[in-house]
Amino acid sequence: MGTKQRYASAIKAWPAEERPRERLLAHGPSALTTAELLAILLRTGTGGQSAVELARGLLEKAGGLRELDRKGADELQEAKGLGLAKITQLKAALELGRRLLAEEKKVLGAVTSSKEVYEWLRPQMQGLTKEIFQVLLLNGSNEVLENVTASEGSLTESPVYLRDLANLANRHGAAALIVAHNHPSGNPRPSSTDRSLTEELVVMGRLLKIGVLDHVIIGDGRYFSFADEGLIEQYGAAFDGRRTR
């Protein structure tokens, strides 16, 4: 007798710790795969497929979430198991994501202080259990062109490469940048690694004519700014002094 195949079952029959909705509530949305998040929107599967399997198939066929977003309702209706109700839910969710991103970019506008950077990034970075290294790419008026995650994990485990930051700045036509990362301990006091990296960033900026305006470390309800402490200016002056000798 051949090996028994496991038939696809409804998600409600899965163990609670495997169901997308329960996992989202227990661990947060970032713990779910794109297919699982999409399955929550779809709610039900079809024809022996669970909602997760349906979502995974849609993503694979489309070539990813971005390509799925580009498809019109008529194209989406060609997929088995996608009716108008599911399509409208999907389109509405994707549009909300776009509007949120647009609002976030409008909120900061031109950066004028470290406090603005802190207030803008704090909701995204405070309370995380791992370090996230963010780069704000700015135009000549110090308006944010893009906010990019350059690294996840501690700077020793997942180092930030200066050439990658330089490439990011060039790719977006940035005139200046501000970097920021969080300290999961809640204490924003800079480590020796933080200080070394910041000095290297300032030197890179001087060489490539990209302004490095600040490095903000986000802690629990407080922050540290290299610019406010005069260290950005100090590192730049030290480099300029070495060049003129």
Tell whether 65 and 135 lie within a shared domain: no
Q: Is the dihedral of CA 138, 142, 145, 147 positive or negative?
A: positive
- Inter-CA distances, 181 with 11, 16, 121, 194, Å: 38, 35, 9, 10
Distance CA(135)–CA(121), nearest Å, equals 11
**Which tokens belong to 34?**
């794109």
Tell whether 177 and 161 lie within a shared domain: yes
Bridge partners, 135 (sequence order): 148, 179
5 lies in some domain: no
Distance CA(93)–CA(40), nearest Å, equals 11
Q: How many domains does the chain have?
A: 2
The pTM of the full predicted model, rounded to 2 decimals, is 0.58
We report the CATH number of the domain holding residue 238 as: 3.40.140.10
Q: Which domain holds residue 28?
A: 11-106
Domain end marker among 71, 106, 141: 106
Per-residue pLDDT of the chain (245 residues; tens, 9 = 90+): 444 444 445 556 566 556 888 989 988 999 999 999 999 999 888 877 888 998 999 999 888 887 888 788 888 888 888 889 999 999 899 888 877 765 665 556 789 999 999 988 887 787 777 899 999 999 999 999 888 888 887 666 556 788 888 888 999 899 999 999 999 889 999 999 999 999 999 999 999 999 999 999 999 889 999 999 999 999 999 998 888 76
Distance CA(23)–CA(44), nearest Å, equals 17
φ/ψ (deg, to 5) at 149: -85, 115
